[in-house]
């Protein structure tokens, strides 16, 4: 549902734009070919979900897509609460590496593999 909400939002914003929806097989093949990595931290996942949420235009959604966006918000809030319980700070606090994570759905190789700036600074090879 979120994928179609994202696509419908694109079509709503760009009436003459064209975006082809990938089939499951095409999607899996592109992941394999592009060698995309999974999210390594809660921060990467949260930033990707925030990026997806930001892309969605509420006026372009169906009722089912609105429900999916509500679940997305719930998942994001759950991640925020879990992070706060674990680290005692907000997920986007300046002491986290949240700002260093890519604002997109696919994580990049250069992104931090830890949650806190102090751990990233002292990580070998960082």
How many residues can be counted in the chain? 126
The pLDDT value recorded for residue 5 is 66
Low-confidence residues of the chain, pLDDT below 70?
1-14, 16-22, 24, 27, 30-31, 34-37, 125-126
- Let me know: does 70 contact 77? Beta carbons within 8 Å: no
* 46 CB neighbour count, 10 Å cutoff: 21
pTM > 0.85: no
Q: Alpha-carbon torsion 10, 11, 14, 17, what sign? A: positive
The pLDDT tens digits for 66-75 are 888 899 999 9
The pLDDT value recorded for residue 1 is 60
Q: Alpha-carbon torsion 37, 41, 45, 47, what sign? A: negative
Token pair recorded at residue 96: 């986290």
């Amino acid at each position: 549902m979120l994928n179609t909400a994202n696509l419908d939002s694109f079509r709503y914003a760009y009436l003459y734009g064209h975006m082809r929806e990938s089939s499951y097989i095409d999607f899996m093949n592109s992941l394999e070919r592009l060698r995309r990595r999974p999210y390594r931290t809660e921060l990467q996942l949260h930033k990707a979900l925030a990026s997806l949420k930001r892309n969605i235009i509420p006026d372009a959604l169906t009722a089912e897509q609105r429900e999916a966006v509500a679940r997305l918000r719930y998942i994001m809030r759950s991640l925020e609460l879990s992070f706060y319980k674990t680290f005692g700070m907000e997920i986007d606090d300046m002491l986290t590496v949240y700002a260093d994570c890519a604002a997109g759905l696919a994580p990049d190789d250069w992104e931090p593999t830890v949650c806190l700036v102090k751990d990233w600074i002292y990580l070998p090879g960082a």
